[in-house]
Structure 1
Amino acid sequence: MHNMVDEMMAMQMPPDPDIAFGLMMRMHHQGAIDMANKELQSGDDAQMREMAQKMIKDQKAEIQELTTFLNGHVPHLNVPEFVTEQMKNMERSGRVTDLQIINGDTDHDFAMLMIQHHQNAIENATLELIYGHESAMQTMAKNIIEKQDQEISEIQTWLLANKNR
């Protein structure tokens, strides 16, 4: 997760919120896929493995949607406040990730890190709803918030049921 945050921080963000959101979420989703693949390689809990497989499928589909949007959209907005707020979100995410309690159990660590990862996606999607203007990205932002919030609840339920791992 640190690598993804570092890459996102190094990325030159365009001042168009819709394009910046698309670029950011494409990279963010790839980070989720990478973490889910690690869960599939080393995790042994059936529920976490199933969640990882679903995440990979869903994130790949959204990456395709984002890529299609980015390939067909010409930047036309200049909203530096969006970029500033998004950079604050990434910095906060990096700090929170540093504070995550991981214990070496792949399933537990995947769950803990994915909660923060999803929370960061919700924060970025919320900024898109505030600053963005393209209906495709607005719809995607709403869907991301809904899906990620649901998955956070599922992961929290799993963590409570498996707190002795």
Structure 2
Amino acid sequence: MMKNMRKLGVVAGTAIAVSLTLAACSGGGSTTPSPAPTSAASTAPATGDASETHNDADTMFAQMMIVHHEGAIEMADLAVEQAESEEVRSLAEGISAAQGPEIEKMTSWLEAWGEETAPMGGMDHGGMDMDGMSQEEAMADLESLSGGEFDRRFLELMVAHHKGAVEMAQTELQDGENPEALELAEQIIADQEAEIAEMEQLLTTL
């Protein structure tokens, strides 16, 4: 009698265990996987959208400012070699050092956005006229000068060049939407307006 009861207990226990296992398997299949895909779907696109959000104004700002900065660096490097005044050489070194990393930053944005790194149809190197001169004409003018004449002409042309960058940055603030591009535009305005004031002051002493 005791043996039969023991057998019944084992059978009952086994049946309960099997039913619980089946319930766990069926329940796990319907509930366990669902939170993971939902979580991944809600977070992954958000990070991508945050870094890639941009419009045509952001693209144009980055493309044109890269070319504009390249023109400024070309002029500044020449001034480092040829300027007579230590103040002018120091200023030129600062311009080149600041704008190189900004070019790299804007290039990385354009690549992340899937945009061309150069403006469509090309653009005059330097991005603007300086006292009615193109980048190539300005460089030729500077290369023909030396001493104090070089220093003064470099400052005059770089002031005009910087004013062009400020205008481009102001347009970005009005029309752009990418947060990083807007932040850089504000930084460019602050930095280049400060350098314009410094160069205009230097011009009074040469």
- State the TM bucket, normalised to the shorter chain: 0.7 to 0.9
Letter in 2 for 1:72: A
- For residue 96 of structure 1, what is the aligned residue in structure 2? 131
Of all paired residues, the percent bearing the same amino acid is: 30
Deviation at 1:132, TM superposition (A): 0.6
The answer to whether the 8 Å contact 1:26/1:63 transfers is: yes
- For residue 29 of structure 1, what is the aligned residue in structure 2? 69
Deviations 1:51-107 (A, max 9, x none): 1111111010111111111111146xxxxxxxxxxxxxx6xx427334x9x894211
Deviations 1:104-151 (A, max 9, x none): 421111100000000000000000011111011100100000000000
Write the mapping of 1:5-154 to structure 2, written as runs, cut at 5 A: 16-74=56-114, 93-94=128-129, 96-98=131-133, 104=145, 105-154=149-198
Structure 1 stretches of at least 4 aligned residues deviating more than 2 Å after TM superposition: 93-98
Gaps in structure 2 of 5+ consecutive residues: 1-54, 116-126
SS at match of 2:154: helix
The answer to whether the 8 Å contact 2:130/2:160 transfers is: no
Relative contact order higher in (CA < 8 Å, ≥ 6 apart) = 1
Closer, same or farther: CA 95–111 of 1 in aligned 2, 3 Å = closer
TM (normalized to structure 2)?
0.59
Gaps in structure 1 of 5+ consecutive residues: 1-14, 76-89
**Cα RMSD, aligned residues only:** 2.5
- State how far apart, in whole Å, the 2-side matches of 1:18 and 1:67 are: 12
Letter in 1 for 2:176: G
SS at match of 2:131: helix
Closer, same or farther: CA 95–60 of 1 in aligned 2, 3 Å = closer
- State how far apart, in whole Å, the 2-side matches of 1:51 and 1:22 are: 24
Closer, same or farther: CA 95–160 of 1 in aligned 2, 3 Å = closer
SS at match of 1:94: coil
Larger radius of gyration: 2
The answer to whether the 8 Å contact 2:159/2:199 transfers is: yes
- State how far apart, in whole Å, the 2-side matches of 1:70 and 1:94 are: 25
The answer to whether the 8 Å contact 1:32/1:56 transfers is: yes
TM (normalized to structure 1)?
0.73
- State how far apart, in whole Å, the 1-side matches of 2:164 and 2:177 are: 21
Letter in 2 for 1:135: P
The answer to whether the 8 Å contact 2:131/2:157 transfers is: no
